[in-house]
Amino acid sequence: MHRDNAHPEPLERWSDALTALQLLHVDPYGFGGICLRAPHGPVRDQWLQALASLRLSLVKVPGSTDHERLLGGIDLALTLQTGQLHQQAGLLQQADQGVVCLPMAERLSPGLLAPLVQAMERGLQPSTPSRFGVVALDESLPDEPGVGAALTERLGLWLDLRDMSPADLSMVGAEATHSSTPMGWDEGVGLSPGALAHARAHLPQVQATDAQIHALCAAAQGLGIGSLRVPSLALRVASGHAALNGRHTLNDDDLGFAARAVLAPRATQWPADAAEASPPPEDEHPTPAEPPAPVESATDASAEPPQKDSENEQAPDPSKAPAEPNAEDLQERMVAAALASLPPHMLDALMTRHGADSRQTSGRSGQHRSGSQRGRPLPPRPGRPGGHARLHILATLRAAAPKQRLRQAQQSGRVAIRAEDFHIQRYQQRTSSCLILALDASGSTALQRLAEAKGAVELLLQQSYARRDSVCIVSFRGAQAQLLLPMTRSLVRAKRAMTGLPGGGGTPLAGALKMAHEQALQLQRQGVTPILVVLSDGRANVTLQGLGGRTQAQADAHSWGQQWRLSGHRALWIDTSAQPDAQAQQLASTMGASYVPMPQVQAQRVAQAMQRLQNPSP
């Protein structure tokens, strides 16, 4: 969508980022908070400086925080010093009526995100002792998983400042803070006390019509947003935007901001009526036949105004206010505002990530494997030390501290420890992963498809060294499938194997799925996580026995697709048909695979889709 040169994109994005701070100042916990995706640099530092100047209680929660420090618990140092039980307030309690800042939020463990999300849910109740908003700082790279879905779903505003540079900030300058941001800035940093009190007083009084609420829900549905929480967050953000501007009712500006900052970043599909949401063609609303009649004669037109007014009394009456737009018009406006802010190739990334099964644990570094010797530390658990299990001293002291008053009569020592207090250390390792590429080399378009697949494999192997991932290639054509390349990280071997691959013939899809399943079993025995990527149109016409017959070939393919689904490993189906094919979609659903239609296969897009499959959101 074309943008006016008077309002360049950096200015609009920075204006939305400052408006998000104002909304956080007015309503710290009402819409959950903000997810900011930006790397270290002057742009993020300036935004964080503005956040720190909001006169809100700001508490940072690093990824190394344990449960007791987060939620409150025993003050171990004071308890051991005095011999009596002492409690300490958690970080979430200290952030009451303020903001919790999560640096490197994409690296937070699920064990830390779970109590944080539960505390946010309890904070929605007025009687809760601690209510706070969250600012999650996402520093992940484009090919890395972002913040956990359980947290981001509850954060109303999503901001993306990755493409902004210090030069953009200097270009924005004073214009962003004075002309494009709402009223009430105190020295360009935060709301003044008067403006803050005025906005907070207006917020409960903001009203939304039924048409506006229906339009928010319809726009979310059109953009492929399935969560019912998102339209509620969008309504809360729109109401806060109206309160900032001193309005008691929502208008197009409020709904447009909610569409840009809440709905657009969550979009997972292109709306079916996106073409209709664009400006309509000239012949869509034909000019009525009445206007040419008065133009024919100036005297007739001047002689008959009373008669015309009496005949069409209701239509041209200027004293009546124009009718309010209905829900369909509002939906089109919000969808258009959301589509205007979508970055390129964003929908391809979301489609790949959206179809992945969150219960599967394969990903960038493979499956999780528990151990007691090395790896990432896990929360300790009760148990007896011995063998490879090591005693966790701090957890043991925490378990023994509350029971000291009962044990003082039996033991004269400073701290009485029993076997029931023992806790052992635990670690978690991640195995490497291997991409199994099943390439369809059949049909008349095989040459173009294989050329693009070769380019995608080369792009993947160039980045596999840093991730310590491998690639295995299975090709299928004619009457059978062939293991073209066993698991390897050698770019030279992959190029040699792909160079002499012929094309044409039938489509033994079932044989390819069977061979991929066998390779996955071997990789799993070696401690490697298999991930399957199929490039095919799904039109199987060769059975497992190498005979023709579409019906039996499709049945065999579905049978081995179900076997792959039962294995629990991740899969991606790239449909290479000229148009999205129902057979390919059905096979992808049977396998439990993500489905991405790519009629014009491009090496860079295929590589990006595979990388996102390897790096799913936790």
Position 56 scores a pLDDT of: 86
Position 85 scores a pLDDT of: 77
Judgement on whether residues 478 and 418 belong to the same structural domain of the protein: no
Position 582 scores a pLDDT of: 84
Please check whether residue 222 lies inside any domain of the structure.
yes
Of 341, 342, 339, nearest in space to 331 by CA: 339
Please check whether residue 522 lies inside any domain of the structure.
yes
What stretches of 217-313 adopt beta strand conformation (E)?
Answer: none
Judgement on whether residues 212 and 168 belong to the same structural domain of the protein: no
Tell me the backbone φ, ψ of residue 310, rounded to 5 degrees.
-70, -30
CATH number at residue 56: 3.40.50.300
CATH number at residue 539: 3.40.50.410
Contacts of 574 by beta carbon, 8 Å cutoff, 6+ apart: 533, 534, 535, 536, 596, 598, 601, 606, 609
Please calculate the CA angle 148-107-371 and round it to the nearest 5 degrees. Answer: 105
Q: Record the tokens describing residue 222, joined without a space.
A: 């059109």
d(CA 511, CA 498): 19
Last residue of a domain, one of 430, 446, 481: 430
DSSP state, residue 577: S
Of 446, 490, 435, nearest in space to 609 by CA: 435
Please check whether residue 302 lies inside any domain of the structure.
no
Count other C-beta atoms under 10 Å from residue 433's C-beta.
Answer: 24
d(CA 502, CA 433): 28
Position 175 scores a pLDDT of: 52
Please check whether residue 152 lies inside any domain of the structure.
yes
Q: Which domain holds residue 423?
A: 368-430
Please check whether residue 83 lies inside any domain of the structure.
yes
Please check whether residue 228 lies inside any domain of the structure.
yes
Last residue of a domain, one of 384, 405, 430: 430
- What's the first-to-final CA gap in the chain, in angstroms? 33
Judgement on whether residues 389 and 266 belong to the same structural domain of the protein: no
Q: Are 97 and 132 in contact (CB under 8 A)?
A: yes
Q: Are 225 and 209 in contact (CB under 8 A)?
A: no
Position 342 scores a pLDDT of: 64
Q: How many domains does the chain have?
A: 4
Position 35 scores a pLDDT of: 93
Q: Name the stretches of the chain with pLDDT < 70.
A: 1-8, 77, 80-81, 83, 123-129, 143, 171-190, 272-327, 338-376, 386-388, 409-414, 428-431, 443-454, 456-458, 460-468, 599-618
Which helix or strand (DSSP H or E) is residue 332 part of? helix 327-340
Judgement on whether residues 488 and 561 belong to the same structural domain of the protein: yes
Tell me the backbone φ, ψ of residue 348, rounded to 5 degrees.
-60, -40
Which helix or strand (DSSP H or E) is residue 138 part of? strand 132-138
* Interhelix angle 229-244/210-222, nearest 10 degrees: 130
Please check whether residue 350 lies inside any domain of the structure.
no
Of 575, 543, 546, 548, nearest in space to 558 by CA: 543
Last residue of a domain, one of 430, 448, 469: 430
Q: Cα dihedral sign for 403, 408, 413, 414? A: positive
Q: Are 554 and 563 in contact (CB under 8 A)?
A: no
Q: Record the tokens describing residue 424, joined without a space.
A: 């052992």
Q: What pTM did the predictor assign?
A: 0.56
Judgement on whether residues 210 and 122 belong to the same structural domain of the protein: no
- Largest separation between any pair of C-alpha atoms in the chain: 116
Judgement on whether residues 538 and 610 belong to the same structural domain of the protein: yes
Contacts of 380 by beta carbon, 8 Å cutoff, 6+ apart: 392, 395, 423, 424, 425, 426
d(CA 51, CA 102): 13
* In the block, residue with structure tokens 């081995």: 560
- Could you tell me which residues are beta bridge partners of residue 423? 382
Which helix or strand (DSSP H or E) is residue 295 part of? helix 292-296
**Is 521 strand, coil or helix?**
helix
Judgement on whether residues 562 and 472 belong to the same structural domain of the protein: yes
Which helix or strand (DSSP H or E) is residue 69 part of? helix 67-71
Q: Cα dihedral sign for 497, 364, 44, 19? A: positive
Position 515 scores a pLDDT of: 93
Please check whether residue 315 lies inside any domain of the structure.
no
d(CA 100, CA 392): 29
287 φ/ψ sector (left φ>0, alpha ψ -120 to 50, else beta): beta
Judgement on whether residues 422 and 445 belong to the same structural domain of the protein: no
Judgement on whether residues 339 and 464 belong to the same structural domain of the protein: no
Judgement on whether residues 410 and 542 belong to the same structural domain of the protein: no
Judgement on whether residues 243 and 333 belong to the same structural domain of the protein: yes
Q: Is 95 exposed, middle or buried (0-12, 13-18, 19+ CB in 10 A)?
A: buried
- Could you tell me which residues are beta bridge partners of residue 133? 99
Judgement on whether residues 22 and 169 belong to the same structural domain of the protein: yes
Cβ burial 544-564 (10 Å sphere, 16+ → b, else e)? beeeeeeebbbebbbebbebb
CATH number at residue 337: 1.10.8
